[in-house]
Amino acid sequence: MSENGLLASLNDYLTLFLLLVSLIIFVWLAVKSRSVRSFQFQTSVFIAIMVVGGLVDLLLNKGMIKVSSAFQELGFLIHVGSMIFFSMMIWLRYYNSKKTGKKMIEEIPE
C-alpha cells in the first residue's frame, strides 16, 4: 500500500471514529434533555440525524456497506430529511410562539 493510500485509509477511519463519537454525544444529549419540546432535544436530534447521514455516506462511498443501486444516495437523502426536520422544528417553534404570545427563547436553568 502506498503512503497516500495509507493516509487516505487512516483519514477514513478517523472520520468514522469522530462521526461515531459525535453521534453518541448528541444522542446522549437528546436523552438527557428534560422534554421533547426543548430546543436542546430538538437540536440534538437534528444533529444526530445529520451525523447518521454522514456515516451512511462514508460507509457507502468506501464500500463498507452494500445496498442496491436504488439506495446509493441514501446518505444524501438522510441529510435532506434532517434539513426538513430542522425547518419544520424552527417553523413550529415560531408558529407556537406567535400563537401563544410566548418568547421563542427558553429560560436557561441555573
Of the candidates 56, 74, 73, the residue with the CA atom closest to the CA atom of residue 65: 56
State CA 37 to chain mean position distance: 18
Express each pLDDT in 51-100 by its tens digit. 999 999 998 888 878 877 777 888 899 999 999 999 999 999 888 888 88
Let me know if residue 108 belongs to a domain. Answer: no
Q: What is the pLDDT of residue 49?
A: 95
Range of the domain at 58: 3-100
If pLDDT is split at 50, 70 and 90, which confidence band does 27 have?
Answer: very high
Let me know if residue 109 belongs to a domain. Answer: no
Place of cell 419540546: 37
The answer to whether the predicted template modeling score (pTM) of the entire model surpasses 0.75 is yes
Q: What is the pLDDT of residue 108?
A: 64
If pLDDT is split at 50, 70 and 90, which confidence band does 105 have?
Answer: low
pLDDT at 1 > cutoff 60 = no
Let me know if residue 92 belongs to a domain. Answer: yes
Q: 26, exposed or middle or buried, with CB in 10 Å at 0-12, 13-18, 19+?
A: buried
Place of cell 463519537: 21
| Contacts within 8 Å (CB) and 24+ apart, 9-12 | 12/58, 12/62
DSSP class of residue 104 equals S
pLDDT at 2 > cutoff 80 = no
Let me know if residue 26 belongs to a domain. Answer: yes
Average pLDDT over residues 27-33: 93
Domains held by the chain: number? 1
Helix 39-61 and helix 74-100, axial crossing angle in degrees, nearest 10 = 170
